[in-house]
Amino acid sequence: MGAPLPPPDEARVAFSRLYANDPEQATSYLYDLGLSSGYLKTEDVARTVRWTGASRFGTLECTINLAKPEKDPRAIAAAAAPARADAPTGVRVPQCDLCWENEGFPGTPEHPAKPGLRIAAIELGGERWGLQFSPYAYFVEHCIALSETHRPMRIDAACFERLLDFADAFPHYFIGSNADLPIVGGSILSHDHFQGGRHVFPLMKAPLAREFALGDEPAVRCGIVAWPSSTVRIASSDRRALMRAAVRLLDVWRGFDDEACGIVSATEGVPHNTLNPIVRKVDGVFIMDLVLRNNRTDARHPWGIFHPDEELHHIKKENIGLIEIMGLAILPPRLAAELPAVQRALVDAAHAGGSAHRLEKRLRAEPLTAPHAAWALDVFVRRAPELAAAPPPRETSAPLLHPVLQDEATRIFAAVLEATAVFKPTQAGRDGWDRFVAMLG
């Protein structure tokens, strides 16, 4: 590890003192602690593969994150209420990776220690919450706000209140919440938490495709965002009015059914409808994006009716959580080896003028390329001349991914986001939007 850290209580006192003067100074102090101690995995973050790609929704951001392992959505659901691990007598055991007890925990084989972790104390919704920075650093100053109490994620009026409190307290950061249901939720459903930081995501740049009035809330601007996921944006300088609008929208969506769009709000009392709330404060105006989510499954869609189909799983099969719903793909580390192998096969075949049949045999024979064979063959058939225009990968110091591979992986990510839409870009989807907006009043 790096430099010595102040004890947790001293770090919290220092944070509070700095916050009283300037919130940005306080967050910079906490972030610098993580850097100097080595808690923030700067070396892994530096190795992250990054690119941007065009889509019909605007520029999307893609990363292959080498610091965080890939998780199966079914394993995430099963871990919603994890068992406690054994620990030395008298030591409080963290129930998950977000519990405050991780700070100073000596570790067990089942739950490793997190040396270097420091958590600042903040108040959200009248409760004591913590603020820390994510060691995986998906973006600049990627922070996590976490409840002091280990309790499940829940999207409700109190959640909105806490998000708005955070935006008031730290206007230099955005803040958002993963959904509170399996399949559409994040990787940890068992501990109430938010994610934020200093990043402007593609969703935040997306314009409104359509505006609508929200009944008796003239101070709130409302609209449907031009975005692949079904998203409503509400904005107002009147915090109370915005809060009322958000609660109304959530209440209507929780009970919304639409057979034509495949939306069923609950099955035998088990809810399916929820949302991702994302808040930022710009020049005194609160902006809240509410991404409508539904986690229902059926025999044809065992992974989720509004989850990417299995044909996309070679690139992405994990839950599509808060960060990705905003347009930043967190792709699994296996792709750092698999996609270059696919690239070598494609470029070699393009330079040799090889047949699609011979290429398919090679792709299916190699463990790294076999999961991508059908997709890679389609790319070759459509774009062989572009692939041939580049030097063979073994003879160049070109970036990890050929522009064609970057573009095609971006297309997959756009398709992943479109899969999450509860209102598809079809006439049926547009009619569904009309029915939902009409219910908002």
Q: Read off the pLDDT of residues 10-48 as tens digits, 9 standing for 90 and up.
A: 999 999 999 999 999 999 999 999 999 889 877 777 788
Looking at the fold, whether 209 and 275 belong to one and the same domain comes out as: yes
Q: Does pLDDT of 397 surpass 60? A: no
In this structure, are 15 and 57 located in the same domain? no
Tokens standing for 286? 């609160």
pLDDT digits (tens, 9 = 90+) for 275-301: 999 999 999 999 999 999 999 999 999
**Could you tell me if residue 3 is inside a domain?**
no
Cβ neighbors of 170 (< 8 A, separation 6 or more) are 23, 27, 196
Task: Indicate whether 217 and 73 sit together in one domain.
Answer: yes
Q: How many CB atoms lie within 10 A of CB 371?
A: 17
Q: Look at strands 58-64 and 328-331 and give their pairing.
A: parallel
In terms of domains, do 209 and 254 share one?
Answer: yes
- Do 181 and 270 lie in one domain? The reply is yes
Q: What pLDDT shows up at residue 77?
A: 56
- How far apart are alpha carbons 149 and 91 in whole angstroms? 17
Same domain, residue pair 74 and 176: yes
What pLDDT score does 429 carry? 98
Report how far residue 18's alpha carbon sits from residue 27's, in angstroms, rounded to the nearest whole number: 9
Within a 10 A sphere around the Cβ of 43, how many other Cβ atoms?
A: 10
For residues 269 and 127, membership in a common domain is answered with yes
Based on the domain organization, do 290 and 332 belong to the same domain? Answer: no
The two three-digit tokens of residue 354, written as one number:
């090889």
Nearest C-alpha neighbor of 194 from the set 247, 130, 136, 240 = 130
88 occurs within a structural domain: no
Looking at the structure of the chain, the number of domains it has is 2
- The per-residue pLDDT for range 104-153, each reduced to its tens digit, is 899 988 888 998 999 999 999 999 999 999 988 899 999 999 999 999 99
DSSP element (H, E) containing 346? helix 335-352
List of residues 6+ apart from 92 with CB closer than 8 A: 101, 105
The answer to whether 141 and 38 are in contact (CB under 8 A) is no
Mean pLDDT of 79-93: 54
246 in the same domain as 118: yes
For residue 223, is it left (φ>0), alpha (ψ between -120 and 50) or beta?
Answer: beta
The domain in which residue 250 lies consists of 8-37+69-82+93-135+138-306+421-440
Q: Sorting pLDDT into bands at 50, 70 and 90, what band is 396?
A: very low
pLDDT for position 3: 60
Instruction: Judge if 111 and 251 occupy the same domain.
Output: yes
Same domain, 52 and 164: no
pLDDT in tens, 207-252: 999 999 998 999 999 999 999 999 999 999 999 999 999 999 999 9
Query: Is 317 a domain residue?
Result: yes
Any idea which residue has 């009716």 for tokens? 305
For residues 347 and 379, the answer to whether their CB atoms sit within 8 Å is no
**pLDDT for the residue 82:** 46
Report the distance separating Cα 35 and Cα 41, nearest Å. Answer: 8
What mean pLDDT, rounded, does the chain reach? 92
Statement to judge: residues 324 and 282 lie in one domain = no
Query: Domain for residue 1, yes or no?
Result: no
pLDDT at 398: 47
Please give the Cα distance from 57 to 25 (Å, whole number): 36
